[in-house]
Amino acid sequence: MYRIDIGGNADGPVVAGDYNVVIDARHGSTVTLLREGERPRPVRRERVELLPRPQDVPLGRDAELALLAQTVPRGGPVQLWGPPGVGKSTLLRHAAHTLPPGPDGVLFLSAAHREVADLAHELFSACYDAAGYAPTGTESKRLMAEVAVTVYVDNVEWTAEQLREFMDAAPKATFVFASRDRSLLGEGVALEIGGLQRHAALSLLGRELGRSLGEGDQAAVKLCRAAGGRPLPLLRAAALARTDPSGAVVLPRPGAVADLVPLLLDQLDAGTTDALRLLATLRDAEVDPVHVGALTDVADPAALCRRLAELGLVESTELGFRAAPDVKPALRRRNQGPFSITRLCEHLARWATDPGTTPEQVAGHARAFEVAAELAERTGHPELAVRVTWAASPALARSLRFGAWGRLLGLGRDAARRTNDDRARAYFTHEAGVRALLTGRRVLAGVLLAEAVALWRLLGDDGGAGAAAGAQQFAPPPPPNAPVDPEPLDALPDSPPETPPDAWGDVDPGGLDGGGAGPGGDAPGPDASGWDVVDPLPPQPQPAQPQPDCVLGPDPAADPGTGSESAADAANHMVSHVPDQASGAAQAASTAPPPPMAPPPGVSEAALGGATSATAASAATGILAAVAAAAALAIGGLVVAQQSDSDEQPAAGGLAGTWQDDQGGVTEFVEAGSGTYSVTGVDLCGEAYTTEFTENGGSYRATVPIYDVTTGSCGQVIGEGAQIITLDAGGDTAELLMEAVYLDEGAECYSCGSYTLTRLSGP
């Protein structure tokens, strides 16, 4: 069993909203309310200038640069969009360096694997000196209201709604985005970036070859045509060029453009190949060259990575380097195994807990920690996943990047379950509850922290139990007679994939990943093998003042079906995981001091009917799953980790298939008839249900009840809601609108609003 050797206090307190938090890496963090005069006073920086590293001047982009020069000073927003390898990032970086900055400066950010709230906090931190402070959403908007910076954002994977949410964080700022797909709708300028014209493509190829090329160089002309004017394959072709005995330059055949990576791999020595294997193992994670040097013992890792970038095998980022999307499949076809997962996890864990490593450095490598934990669990080493996530969690908490922190906590909780590590489970549950509290999810926080209290007490850890109970007082109490479920994890079944993973951790060796970027920019997208990241916690709003809430739920009168929880957090609270006998659990839970706060009189607090058991031991856990489900889709469904390995494909057409919301919740829609699609699950009272969505004027609509959970675990129906799904033109994304049709007086709908869905599988 691995254990993380960290002291109790991980470098003192941070402030999030109205809370003071002391991060504790052993017993879980302690939360107190800020007293008068304790709130930090952020100091506005006179001018911001955070630019990307310089790159070569982009060739053949005069028209695009001229348009940017006209549009950006007028206030934007602007979106550069186009396929991977077309040169969007190069153009964006050049614009950041050459165009006039805003009145308050210029800022370059990367949105790769970052949630809106996390990147908004980076924007705030760049404009204000406020270390260790994350203001509430309202306070942040007040502070940023007059900040007029120009913000360039690369690798944007967001929907139109998320773009607007991010831009609202700084209303007077000018934004320029680079994305794979167009998502800026109804405002600003969306500029499609295509391949270079032939003259510019020849100039680029000639620059890399160190010679002038013209229309008479037929081999070069044909190569440019085969590459579609995309800079990346041209750079790779130049790296493979050779000189024949006559001194003429011999280029790769035009037909080989699509398969240049294996030819480049042939040129690498053993040390360079080892470094590339490390980066490919970490998929689309950015890695500082210092880690490449520490793990591969190469003499000059920075120079080696730059050389790999010149070959087009890795991409240069602000943090370091990451493997190009098509490198991993090429290595697999050559029977090259991945880098040692054990060495990787042990190195990252040591580095994260080193006193010299800053929270910002760990936050920058959050994706590497995620991938390492996923790989460890997929390849049968969940104890390594526990170690690496526990090591990174305190630093991520201190960095105040709550999205990245939540993903690591979810991975750690799942790994703790698989390793029967009750102490790790108590820690991750405790920290997940603290995170929920800090991000305004008070109902979820109350249930998680109640569970953490019971788990710590079963372990005899009074320090952990006291810290969890102290934080629990700031959340609503769990429903009456709803003790938590602190059973040992050895009672919980594992669910290994039907097909054992290969050495790279992929379930289907035939499904080669990395063929392209994700849905927003040159950052690679989901692994085609089905090994996607799932946020085990629900989507988090800005940490604004939370209000008592009600949540849409499935219709208990609908035909029952066999289903499982919606939202990734429900993966840790499946009905089948609840023991039949829980007297000990009930007794342990009853010793926790009851939180003093309750909803104001006359206001209902409700939650979606999710996966809950009829047993007393699981009632609070069921409410947890219910709240998680409401935060994701509020419509039942399957957890991606339990269905992504299946070979079964849903019926073609319409909604049929597996969909993921913008924070990780996953739901499967099954065609039930002409224009009708169903999802199944378990309602708040533990009863199976089926919710049907029926086509109506180009959208799909379902009617669901709204529950009040302040009176008990089952709750009372206090209203009716509608869920409306509208597909985009391509059918790969959709908008889910949840609204209250009617609601009892004094209640407010907690989960009403708009969500974005992305198709994971199906037609």
pLDDT tens-digit series, residues 277-317: 999 999 999 999 999 999 998 989 999 999 999 999 999 99
Higher-scoring residue by pLDDT: 574, 665: 665
Q: Using H for helix, E for strand and C for coil, what is the string for 195-264?
A: CCCHHHHHHHHHHHHCCCCCCCCHHHHHHHHHCCCCHHHHHHHHHHCEECCCCCEECCCHHHHHHCHHHH
Distances (CA, A) of 255 to 219, 223, 236: 11, 8, 14
* Lowest mean pLDDT across 497-501, 521-525, 532-536: 532-536
DSSP structure class, residue 550: B
> 5: pLDDT confidence band, cut at 50, 70 and 90?
very low
Residue 376 phi, psi (nearest 5): -60, -45
What pLDDT shows up at residue 513?
34
Rounded Cα distance, 30 and 463, in Å: 10
Higher-scoring residue by pLDDT: 511, 136: 136
611 and 575 in contact (C-beta within 8 Å)? yes
What pLDDT shows up at residue 364?
95
Where are the strands (E) in 123-202, listed by range? Answer: 128-129, 133-134, 150-156, 174-179, 189-192
Chain position carrying tokens 């659990």: 585
pLDDT at 588 over 60: no
Higher-scoring residue by pLDDT: 259, 110: 110
First-residue to last-residue Cα distance in the chain? 44
Whole-model pTM?
0.66
String of DSSP letters for 324-372: -TTHHHHHHHTTPPPPPHHHHHHHHHHHHHSTT--HHHHHHTHHHHHHH
What pLDDT shows up at residue 190?
94
What pLDDT shows up at residue 514?
33
Rounded Cα distance, 432 and 396, in Å: 12
* Sign of the torsion angle spanned by Cα atoms 574, 579, 582, 584: negative
> 337: pLDDT confidence band, cut at 50, 70 and 90?
confident
* Lowest mean pLDDT across 166-175, 647-656, 718-727: 647-656
- Reduced to 3 states (helix: H, G, I; strand: E, B; else coil), residue 141 is helix
> 713: pLDDT confidence band, cut at 50, 70 and 90?
very low
* Inter-helix orientation angle 116-127/160-168, to 10°: 30
Nearest CA among 666, 724, 718 for reference residue 691 = 724
Looking at every residue in the chain, the average pLDDT score rounds to 77
Rounded Cα distance, 394 and 4, in Å: 11
Chain centroid to CA 262: how far?
A: 31
> 637: pLDDT confidence band, cut at 50, 70 and 90?
very low
What pLDDT shows up at residue 479?
54
| % of the chain with per-residue pLDDT over 90 | 49
Rounded Cα distance, 402 and 537, in Å: 11
393 and 409 in contact (C-beta within 8 Å)? yes
Chain centroid to CA 642: how far?
A: 18
Rounded Cα distance, 452 and 624, in Å: 13
452 and 414 in contact (C-beta within 8 Å)? no
Rounded Cα distance, 651 and 360, in Å: 45
Among the four given CATH numbers 3.10.129.10, 3.40.50.1260, 2.40.10.220, 2.40.128.30, the one describing domain 551-761: 2.40.128.30
Rounded Cα distance, 167 and 180, in Å: 19
What pLDDT shows up at residue 651?
35
Higher-scoring residue by pLDDT: 337, 419: 419
What pLDDT shows up at residue 743?
80
> 507: pLDDT confidence band, cut at 50, 70 and 90?
very low
What pLDDT shows up at residue 100?
94
What pLDDT shows up at residue 384?
97
* Lowest mean pLDDT across 38-52, 635-649, 737-751: 635-649
pLDDT at 226 over 80: yes
* Lowest mean pLDDT across 72-81, 200-209, 473-482: 473-482
What pLDDT shows up at residue 665?
67
What is the helix (H) or strand (E) element at residue 124, kind and residue range?
helix 116-127
Domain 43-192: CATH superfamily is: P-loop containing nucleotide triphosphate hydrolases (3.40.50.300)
* Lowest mean pLDDT across 12-26, 313-327, 573-587, 683-697: 573-587
pLDDT at 274 over 80: yes
**pLDDT (tens digit per residue) in 443-497:** 899 999 999 999 999 999 999 999 999 999 998 876 554 444 433 333 333 333 4
Average pLDDT over residues 239-264: 84
What are the residue ranges spanned by the domains of the chain? 43-192, 198-259, 551-761
Average pLDDT over residues 7-13: 52
What pLDDT shows up at residue 358?
95
* Lowest mean pLDDT across 80-89, 406-415, 751-760: 751-760
